[in-house]
Structure 1
């Protein structure tokens, strides 16, 4: 299978946008809050700690992605970039702006092979350009190996970025902070730390 080639003009526009955002004054962040007081109150420091791997386990449609994107929205409010590695290729971009996500500050990566999901997240974290990186392993049959988990934790720690790892309930990973999210009604969720 031949790899897709990106348009050089598009790449240059992306590079210029990244340079502009990186040059902007930044707020110093130690956590990314969800903006949901009951959830943030459960978390150390009142939010998801930067430089860590936070595992959001649970069923699809439980609210896990909503929590992750609310934290990404806080990174955007602080003029920081975020990335989303979309394993199931199910990201619906029109649902994100109401959560506060700025699409122009979100890089979405959809690797052609499931085996490239963890590698993609690792490269994004190692770049140091992103305050938060989401890695959605839902419906992918991808299970992180212990070496992959260690590399992701190390990259998050070194870069100071947050890895938001969405895992199915049957395949937990080794997040430094683990949350289990379950639906508690049509527009409510239950979060256990």
Structure 2
């Protein structure tokens, strides 16, 4: 059997460019939205979060890291005139914090749901109608068949749809073409690992600077880098101890 390079050389150039090799990052069929970190975009097929297909972000705790990871991408969606729909967030959206990310209230829609079935139904209707620029859906209990159906609704569309799920499902099968794990890192960083993508495995997790925008103006250098502060030696105390001055004893 001839090497793949020789086979591609025999194909018309237009066809050869469309062939994906497993050791390369695939070219997504639709548009992408840049993540805001050049290092992360370099690891995402097409250079950003994919539109028209399902992506998953896993994290150890809901509503803790999602906004720091996705804030720049969502800001780009709204800057282009799209709206952001939140389906079933575990906590009410904190508008001052979202405005600090660049999200305006008029471009933010909160769909309050009570059951996992309602979350799935609402998400499917949104992506099928393509009325939103981005849909964030918290789907901790979704099964593989549910995600497969959602993926089929998204196929070939223009919506950026990200399912937010717990870290514990990382060993479960998923039809999502992109799966990313986000964990808290030292000194306000995010530790991001691409678990699944159309391309080679990511060998090493990324450590991304991610100070919350609302805190950027009030954090000094030391509080931005608490892990780099010098540690006290064993037995040392926080208080500075100085010898007491010797006072003369009056003669009796």
**Pair in the same fold by TM > 0.5:** yes
The question of whether the paired residues in 1 share the 8 Å contact of 2:53 and 2:157 is answered with no
Higher helix share: 1
1:8-51 CA-to-partner distances (Å, cap 9, x unmatched) read xxxxxxxxxxxxxxxxxxxxx81111212222222112110111
- Structure 2: give runs of 5+ residues left out of the alignment: 1-29, 195-252
- What is the aligned length? 161
Tell me: CA distance 1:155–1:123, structure 2 relative to 1, closer, same or farther (3 Å): same
1:67 and 2:65 correspond? no
1:147 and 2:145 correspond? yes
* Pairs within 5 Å for 1:1-193: 30-60=31-61, 63-137=65-139, 142-172=140-170, 173-193=174-194
Cα distance in 2 for partners of 1:86, 1:109 equals 6
Cα distance in 2 for partners of 1:155, 1:89 equals 27
The question of whether the paired residues in 2 share the 8 Å contact of 1:86 and 1:136 is answered with yes
What's the TM-score, normalizing by structure 2? Answer: 0.59
Equivalent residue, structure 1, for 2:16: none
The question of whether the paired residues in 2 share the 8 Å contact of 1:62 and 1:182 is answered with no
What's the TM-score, normalizing by structure 1? Answer: 0.75
Cα distance in 2 for partners of 1:113, 1:91 equals 18
The question of whether the paired residues in 2 share the 8 Å contact of 1:75 and 1:131 is answered with yes
Secondary structure of the structure 2 residue equivalent to 1:96: helix
CA RMSD of the aligned region, Å? 2.0
* Larger-Rg structure: 2
- Structure 1: give runs of 5+ residues left out of the alignment: 1-28
Secondary structure of the structure 1 residue equivalent to 2:142: coil
The question of whether the paired residues in 2 share the 8 Å contact of 1:89 and 1:110 is answered with no
Cα distance in 1 for partners of 2:175, 2:60 equals 17
Which region of structure 1 is more displaced relative to structure 2, 86-95 or 143-152? Answer: 86-95
Tell me: CA distance 1:55–1:113, structure 2 relative to 1, closer, same or farther (3 Å): same
Cα distance in 2 for partners of 1:148, 1:76 equals 28
